[in-house]
Structure formats: C-alpha cells, structure tokens
Amino acid sequence: MTERHLVVVSVDAMVYEDVALLSKLQTMQPLWHKTARVDRVQSIYPTITYPCHTTMITGVYPDKHGIVNNTTPAPGQKSAPWQFFRSAARGSNLFEAAKAHGLTTASVFWPLTGKDAAIDYLIDEYWPQQGESSEQCFRDSGSSEEVIEKIIRPNLKLLENRHRQHPFCDAFMMQCAADMLLHFKPNLLMVHPANIDAYRHQTGTFSPQVTHGVHEISLWRRSCSRPPMTPASWTARTFSSSAIMVR
C-alpha cells in the first residue's frame, strides 16, 4: 500500500476573506485548482488560539480537554504563565493516534505540544524563559538533539532574540517545517504560523498589514525551502503523490 503523508498548516486568525484573497495569488494557483475546500466553518468557544488548536488535535471541546485559555489562571499575578506542554491537556490527540498506527510525526509551533512523547520531530511553540538561550529553550521543551542539529540550529539566524515577534518567528517555523519535510519525511506534520493573528491584534480586523500577512503566507508556501518548492518538486523532494496539505 502507498505510504500516506499529511501536512496540516493552521494559519492563526485567518478568516474567509483572507482565504478568498489567498486563492487569487499567483503562488497559490498551481495548488488551488486541485483542492477540495470547505469555505466556512464555525469555531469553538472560547475562540482563543490554544483552546482551538487543542480541539483540532483532540477532536473534543474545551470542557473535555481542559484548555480554556492560552495561559494558566494566576489570580493576583501581573502576568499568567503560558501553557506550553502536552501534560496540560486531557485526553488523547492526533499525534498519539498516528503513533499507534506506526506512523512518524512532526510538529512545528503547534500549541501545547511541549515534551509530547508521541511527536518524533518536535519544535514547540515556546520561547526562552529566564536564563535560557534560544537553542536551550527548544531543548527544554522537547526538541531532540537531532532536530536541534539538523533543523533548529541552521535556522536560528531567522529567529535570534525575536521569538515572539512576527513575521520573524513565522519565517523561522516555516523554514523549519520545510526542512523537516526534506530531512525526515514524516507521515504527519502540523505547523502553526501566527503572523496574521499578530497583525490583527496590532492593526485591526482588516488592514494593509493583514493583507500583507496573507501574501507572506503565500510566499512562505512557495519559498520556505531551499531551493524553492514548486508543485513538481513538492512531489519529487518530499514524499510522493499521496501527500495531502490542509490549511
């Protein structure tokens, strides 16, 4: 049987109007006309990044998986700690299901994946805590030495000291995701860019900056690997014609 591969790209805060624009961009045209699409979906409540992305990989609502915010409630504290690690969520997830069926797994900046034992190639959405270097923070959140050596270290120049600044962290994660495809060819890869979400927080729901963010997503899809991916090279350089991309 042909080995199957799935790439899931969840663009944080991308809405229907963004998708309509994305579909018209030249860099997306080779893929767009070969897709099946659902144009509108209804989100969960609360519609916050970490609850939403935990629901995506568990298939259950927040009352079941237990993630209702990006941060852990901390009454009396000026800033609440973020929930970085797999242990915060209840129940099983898609990575565990894939591993149970003998598949290889990878994740880049997908929320709440820190130290997830079911992810073979992991770069958690995590940033340096007090005293941590950029490289050490990924090691502390579960990245293997192989991932650090082959994926993270060569791309740190895109990120250094800008872990929470967009689009720098997004450029880093998309390049890391492309390199994972080339080096490891995982059966499942999930990646979570958040540039559009950041621009909406900073400039409003619809703005020139948000439009620019949609163009960034399109360009990263095309050029995040070395050399740039084309529809033909996607098949030749990653896995096979059975690869599926989901956004």
φ/ψ of 191, rounded to 5, equals -140, 150
Note whether residue 75 is domain-resident.
Answer: no
Note whether residue 57 is domain-resident.
Answer: yes
Helices (H) and strands (E) counted in the chain, each on its own, are 12, 5
Note whether residue 225 is domain-resident.
Answer: yes
Note whether residue 17 is domain-resident.
Answer: yes
Does the structure show a pLDDT above 80 at 238? no
Taking only the tens place, the pLDDT of each residue in 107-133 is: 999 999 999 999 999 999 999 998 899
Q: How many domains does the chain have?
A: 1
Q: What is the pLDDT of residue 243?
A: 57
- Which amino acid makes up residue 152? I
Taking only the tens place, the pLDDT of each residue in 7-35 is: 999 999 999 999 999 999 988 887 788 88
Whether 178 and 229 have beta carbons less than 8 Å apart is answered as yes
For residue 245, what are the β-bridge partners? 7
For residue 188, what are the β-bridge partners? 6, 105
Q: What is the pLDDT of residue 236?
A: 46
Note whether residue 218 is domain-resident.
Answer: yes
Q: Are strands 188-191 and 243-246 parallel, antiparallel or unpaired?
A: unpaired
Kindly calculate the radius of gyration of the chain based on its CA atoms and give it in whole angstroms.
17
- Which amino acid makes up residue 175? Q
Chain Cα centroid distance, residue 103 = 19
Q: Print the domain residue range for 42.
A: 5-70+81-246
Note whether residue 153 is domain-resident.
Answer: yes
CATH code (residue 229):
3.40.720.10
Structure tokens at 74: 């901390």
Taking only the tens place, the pLDDT of each residue in 172-212 is: 999 999 999 999 999 999 999 999 999 999 999 999 999 99
**Cα separation of 190 and 176, whole Å?**
12
Note whether residue 173 is domain-resident.
Answer: yes
Note whether residue 10 is domain-resident.
Answer: yes
Q: Which residues of 30-39 are buried (b: 16+ CB within 10 A; e: fewer)?
A: eeeeeeeeee
